[in-house]
Amino acid sequence: MNGTAATALPPRPPVSRRSESPSSRRSAVRRARIVVRGLNFFYGRRQVLFDNNLEIAENRVTAIIGPSGCGKSTHIRVYNRIYSLYRGQRAVGEVLLDGVNILSDKVDTAELRRRVGMIFQQPTPFPMSIFDNVAYGLRLHYRLPKSELEGRVEEALKAVGLWDEVRRHLAAPGTDLSGGQQQRLCIARALAVDPEVILMDEPTSAIDPIATARIEELVVSLKSRYTVVIVTHNMQQAARISDYTAFFHQGRIVEFDETARLFTAPREKRTEDYITGRFG
C-alpha cells in the first residue's frame, strides 16, 4: 500500500487557450447580452474553468447544466464578480456585458451588481422586515421619495407574485416566510433595482416541488424584461424553462445549443451520456 500511492498525479496538460471549441452553432444566439471569451478561472493555483466561450442571449433563459463540481456555479459567479470576495480566486479572459469587459479593474462592482442581480441556492432574506428587504437595494442605489419607494417595492413584490400574500404584513420579518416565499422575496429584492441580467445559482434546490413550480413559472415570465442565466442540477428543469442550454463538464463547455436541440439531438457523446443519466 506504499510506493505506488505516493507518486504524484500526472501533471495537468497545459491549458491556456487549448481551443477545444464547443461544438455549437453559435450563430444560434441572435442578440447576445453577455459574451464570454476564453474565460479561465483559478482557485489559487488550481484551474477550474478552461477556455469557456459562451453567449448569453438577451431576453432569454440560458440554463447551465452539468455534474457536481463541473464549474457551473463558478462560471456564473464571474458575471457579477462575486468571486472576487475571496482571496486567491482569479478570472482570466473576457466577459463582455454590452461590449465592456467586466473583468477590467475600471468596472465599478457596485454598479455591475446592480445591473447583474444574483439569486442563491439558499434563500437569503436579510434580517429585517419584508418591506426593508425589497427596499434594500433601492435605498442602496437610488434616492427615492417615500411614495416612490413604496410603489417600487409593491411593483417588485407583484412581479414575483408575492404581493397578495404579504401586503398585510410588510413589517413582519422576512425570515418568517416559507422557503419558497423567501426565495421569491429574494428575487423581488433583486428585481427592485431594475437589473438587466438575473443570475440564478440553483435557486430551487432547497425548495419543495410546489414552490419550485411557482419559481419556474416566474423565471419564464421574467425573460420578457430580463436576461436570465440559471444554473441547475435538474435537467428536467433546464428543459422546461430555458431557451438555451450549456453543458459543462470538468470546467469546459462541452456543448451549447438551443435547449430543444441539445436535449433531443446532442452532438457530443458526453452530453448524451449526461442527459440520459449515464453519469452525473
Partner 1 sequence: MRPRSRAARKAADAAASALAFLAAAAGTAVLFWIMAEVFARGASVLGPAFFTRLPAPPGVGGGGLANAVLGTVIITLLATLMAVPPGVLAGVYLAEFAGNGRFASAVRFGVNMLMGVPSIIMGLFVWGTVVIATGGFSAWAGAVSLALIMLPVVARTAEDMLRLVPDSLRESVLAMGAPYWRAMLVIFLAARNGLVTGVLLAVARVGGETAPLLFTALNSPYWPTDLTKPTANLPVTIYNYAMSPYRDWQAMAWGASLVITAGVLALSLVSRFALKTGTERKAKR
Closer of 127 and 145 to partner 1 (Cβ) = 127
From 36, 64, 170, 186, residue interacting with partner 1 (rule: CB under 8 A): 186
From 117, 180, 203, 266, residue interacting with partner 1 (rule: CB under 8 A): 117
- Please, what is the minimum distance in Å from the beta carbon of residue 89 to partner 1? 12
- Please, what is the minimum distance in Å from the beta carbon of residue 123 to partner 1? 8
Residue 247 parent element (H or E): strand 244-249
From 72, 152, 189, 223, residue interacting with partner 1 (rule: CB under 8 A): 189
Which DSSP category does 7 fall into? Answer: S
3-state secondary structure (DSSP) of residue 245: strand
Q: Is 69 left (phi over 0), alpha (psi -120 to 50) or beta?
A: left
Q: Is 156 left (phi over 0), alpha (psi -120 to 50) or beta?
A: alpha
Determine, following the binding rule CB under 8 A, whether residue 137 of this chain makes contact with partner 1.
yes
Q: In this structure, what C-alpha cell is assigned to residue 119?
A: 439569486
Give the binding-site size for partner 1 (rule: CB under 8 A). Answer: 33
Helix, strand, coil in percent for the chain, rounding step 5: 40, 25, 40
Closer of 47 and 175 to partner 1 (Cβ) = 175
Q: In this structure, what C-alpha cell is assigned to residue 53?
A: 466561450
C-beta of residue 110 within 8 angstroms of C-beta of residue 81:
no
Determine, following the binding rule CB under 8 A, whether residue 129 of this chain makes contact with partner 1.
no
From 9, 85, 143, 279, residue interacting with partner 1 (rule: CB under 8 A): 85
Q: Contact letters (x/-) for partner 1, 86-115, by CB under 8 A?
A: -x---------------------xxxxxx-
C-beta of residue 50 within 8 angstroms of C-beta of residue 253:
no
Closer of 23 and 129 to partner 1 (Cβ) = 129
C-beta of residue 206 within 8 angstroms of C-beta of residue 125:
no
Closer of 83 and 256 to partner 1 (Cβ) = 83
Which residues contact partner 1 by CB under 8 A?
80, 82, 85, 87, 109-114, 117-118, 120-128, 136-137, 140-141, 173, 175-176, 182, 186, 189-190, 193
